[in-house]
Amino acid sequence: MLWLSLLFGSIVGLSLGLTGGGGAIFAVPLLAYGMGVPAREAVAISLVSVGLTSFVGFLGK
């Protein structure tokens, strides 16, 4: 299960890095269907991850 979460996290991280914040489109289905996280929690996790990524990008400028 750990390797699966690392793989999915890498996919989402790569998409966030390449698109600048579009990783939420990948994060919710991967969390909900791939990891079995309930949909509400998947949306919340996705929002937090995109928000933190955006904040870190903001600090870098």
Considering only residues 38 and 60, tell me which one the structure prediction assigns the higher pLDDT: 38
For the entire predicted model, the pTM comes to: 0.69
Q: Domain ranges in the chain? A: 2-59
Residue 6 near residue 43 (C-beta atoms within 8 A): no
Q: What is the mean pLDDT of residues 18-39?
A: 82
Which has the closest alpha carbon to 15: 25, 1, 2? 25
Residue 1 has pLDDT above 80, yes or no: no
Contacts made by residues 24-33, CB under 8 angstroms, sequence distance 24+: 24/49, 24/50
- pLDDT class for 20, splitting at 50, 70, 90? low
